[in-house]
C-alpha cells in the first residue's frame, strides 16, 4: 500500500469507529483522538496488529517504505527504522496507520458522521410515514 492508501484506509476505519460512538462522544474531540489512536480497527496500536482487507502486513508495507511523505513523517517523529523493523512487518504497518492519523481531520469526520446520522433518521421518518 502507498501512504495515501494507508491514509484512505485509516480514514475509513476511523469512520467505522465513529459510527459506534454516542452523540455525546462525538462532541469530545480529545476523547475521540485517544479512542481512534487506541482502537485496533484504526491503528492496531494495542495489539500490534491491524487487520487489513488489502492483505498481510508484509505485503502492505512494501510500497510505503519508499514513500517520501511517509518517510518525512517517520523521520519527523525521530523514529529508528531498524528498531521498528526488528518487530516485523506488523510494526511498520501499525506505525504507518498511526502516522496516517496526522493527515486526517477528526472534526471533518465527526461532521460527516453527524450528517450521516441526520440523513439516516430522516429516511427512517420518511419510511415510517409511508407505512
Contact 61, 71 (CB under 8 A): no
Mean pLDDT of 37-42: 91
Q: Which three cell numbers stand for residue 79?
A: 523514529
0.85 cut: is pTM over it?
Answer: yes
Q: Which three cell numbers stand for residue 69?
A: 511523505
- Per-residue pLDDT tens digits for 79-104: 999 999 999 899 999 999 999 999 99
CB neighbours of 97 closer than 8 A, spacing ≥ 6? 6, 9, 10, 13, 42, 43, 44, 45, 50
Count structural domains, the chain: 1
Residue-number span of the structural domain to which 102 is assigned: 3-130
Query: Nearest Cα to 51, choosing from 93, 106, 103, 88?
Result: 93
Amino acid at each position: 500500500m502507498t501512504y495515501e492508501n494507508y491514509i484512505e484506509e485509516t480514514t475509513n476505519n476511523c469512520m467505522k469507529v465513529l459510527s459506534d460512538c454516542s452523540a455525546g462522544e462525538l462532541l469530545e474531540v480529545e476523547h475521540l483522538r485517544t479512542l481512534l489512536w487506541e482502537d485496533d480497527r484504526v491503528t492496531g496500536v494495542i495489539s500490534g496488529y491491524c487487520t487489513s482487507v488489502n492483505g498481510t502486513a508484509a505485503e502492505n508495507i512494501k510500497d510505503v517504505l519508499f514513500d517520501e511523505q511517509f518517510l518525512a513523517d517517520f523521520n519527523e517523529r525521530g523514529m529508528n527504522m531498524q528498531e521498528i523493523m526488528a518487530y516485523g512487518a506488523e510494526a511498520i504497518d501499525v506505525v504507518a496507520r498511526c502516522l496516517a492519523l496526522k493527515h486526517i481531520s477528526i472534526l471533518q469526520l465527526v461532521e460527516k458522521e453527524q450528517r450521516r446520522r441526520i440523513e439516516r433518521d430522516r429516511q427512517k421518518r420518511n419510511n415510517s410515514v409511508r407505512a
